[in-house]
Structure 1
């Protein structure tokens, strides 16, 4: 006879957990694992990382899920290892090798690599890979690819804000390039690796990928799953950062009690404010995040608001991070 399953008692958690995602987990699997460890009621992530990718993955809980789109839209920075001289079916190390080239490593001079990097910097066009989560007729492209079906895909405009290429000098079984890229949302780094290989005269695929920054949040602030798992339950909430961690680049506006109440009702407020696209709005007493807004012609216009219940729960107990050793990175 099987023992009855223990039901996890959920609790309201409001804030952001900055995960250093390990290799092998999908973004959703990582989210569900952290949600279970925190016993959180509501959660969402801020854009996916492939299972083979590691690095910065902000996870939003409770009220913070209202601001997850901000990170989804933010530029991101990656470090990648590119295998030069071989293409694969998936564009990364998970796929089967399709074609092999003999690479003249000595020809990969810093000058040549810099010239190719310049070629792919700025506004570029990419054809999304078949092994991607893009939907066609309700099915992800990778589902078609696994069935041996290749569909036409429209090129997409993306922006490469910074791109640096260098040869990896350590002993490798293949010719390798280190690629550091800061790019707009929607960029496929493995497609970029393939296109760079083609520009150099060889095939290429992505060997490894690590996101080192997104929207101003870097790896130094992230926590590993191992660290979170090792903490006692009553200390795990201390790893959750306030929801306004995602609003660091926003203009800050503080409202008095009457105006704060009206703003939370969805009403515009007037004041001597300059126009701003992104505003984090706080109440004066008690001091609390109310939501985000924008300012036009001295009007503060609500965009996303926290509920009174969420604000009360935050004031009553979502812990702030403490200066201790529990936020060590992996």
Structure 2
């Protein structure tokens, strides 16, 4: 007999403000226990040193985390000039020191502008990328260097926010797969003195940004269960960038049986994804059903569906 999973079967997305010094997995487990949730997952690792936006998904929302892993990100990054480290950030061992040249605003702006657009990055050894089933940082801690392939990333914006002694603060907007530590090391090399990342805060990922209130661990700990649940966004917020289609009850039944349905797909191209809403037989009103893929004009197939009509917050 299958063992019943402990916890509440709620679904939704929490915009969590991860504190410094905590791994993303530790943050996930702390939040999951506070909500007493059956199932939870996060949408992309933040380094322990980093703070800021870590969307945590519960229940049916975990089915849609892949669409956020591929999303663009925005950060504020603190840059310390004149020192390089083996990790590329302030937590690593110092590799070299060099005098910091005098930089006027125009020269610094010109240097930063060279790092926008398509760039080739070499992933750092201190990263969670896997080699033969092990993360690269495990090899790095053993003093083993693994050959890595450079990969192309997009850096949409690198803007100067503030100057400070021997460094500055940047506003950075990047594509998935971009290592901000590597970007900072490359900027330091271009300036000629080396640099490392000494602070990082994520402000945005995909459809979520700093305009939507994040909640801290301290705040969650003093909330009631109802207050915590009220902070959850619906599962469909993870895929809010996708177009919306509607299905009638008969279409809902067909989809749940794995069948294709006919829908007015309009200008959606074959192969594209869309959110699907409808009123299934077991729901009292319009609800999010999941994602469908356009297989031909006017026809869709199920791509990723919620298990029941109760795929909303407070399930």
TM-score by length of 1: 0.87
Paired residues of 1:14 and 1:62 also in contact (CA < 8 A): yes
Work out which of the residue numbers 210, 232, 256 in structure 1 matches 2:201: 210
Matched residue of 1:221: which SS? Answer: coil
Work out which of the residue numbers 242, 254, 271 in structure 2 matches 1:250: 242
Cα distance in 2 between the residues matched to 1:114 and 1:59: 36
Cα distance in 1 between the residues matched to 2:275 and 2:144: 47
Partner of 1:300: 300
Partner of 2:121: 126
Partner of 2:230: 238
Matched residue of 2:55: which SS? Answer: strand
- Aligned: 1:101 with 2:92: no
Paired residues of 2:289 and 2:311 also in contact (CA < 8 A): no
Q: Which runs of 5+ in 1 are unaligned?
A: 1-7, 320-330
Q: CA deviation at 1:235?
A: 2.7
Paired residues of 1:82 and 1:205 also in contact (CA < 8 A): yes
Cα distance in 1 between the residues matched to 2:181 and 2:202: 13
Partner of 1:318: 314
Alignment of 1:46-195 (within 5 A): 46-105=43-102, 108-165=103-160, 167-169=162-164, 172=165, 175-195=166-186
Cα distance in 1 between the residues matched to 2:45 and 2:14: 15
4+ residue stretches of structure 1 with deviation over 6 A?
Answer: none
- Aligned: 1:29 with 2:20: no
Paired residues of 1:113 and 1:166 also in contact (CA < 8 A): no
Q: CA deviation at 1:9?
A: 5.4
Paired residues of 1:264 and 1:290 also in contact (CA < 8 A): no
Q: Deviations over 1:25-68 (max 9, x none)?
A: 11111000000000000111101000000111111111000100
Cα distance in 1 between the residues matched to 2:67 and 2:132: 28
TM-score by length of 2: 0.91
Q: Which runs of 5+ in 2 are unaligned?
A: none
Matched residue of 2:221: which SS? Answer: helix
Which moved further from structure 2: 238-247 or 87-96?
238-247
Cα distance in 1 between the residues matched to 2:155 and 2:273: 23
Q: Deviations over 1:187-220 (max 9, x none)?
A: 0000000000001111100000000111121133
Paired residues of 1:162 and 1:182 also in contact (CA < 8 A): yes
Q: Deviations over 1:88-139 (max 9, x none)?
A: 111000011111111123xx22222222222111111011111111111121
Cα distance in 2 between the residues matched to 1:281 and 1:31: 28
Cα distance in 2 between the residues matched to 1:236 and 1:101: 49
Paired residues of 2:9 and 2:39 also in contact (CA < 8 A): yes
RMSD: 1.7
> Paired residues, what number?
302
- Aligned: 1:273 with 2:265: yes
- Aligned: 1:225 with 2:217: yes
Higher helix fraction (1 or 2):
1
Matched residue of 1:31: which SS? Answer: helix
Matched residue of 1:217: which SS? Answer: coil
Tell me: CA distance 1:202–1:14, structure 2 relative to 1, closer, same or farther (3 Å).
same
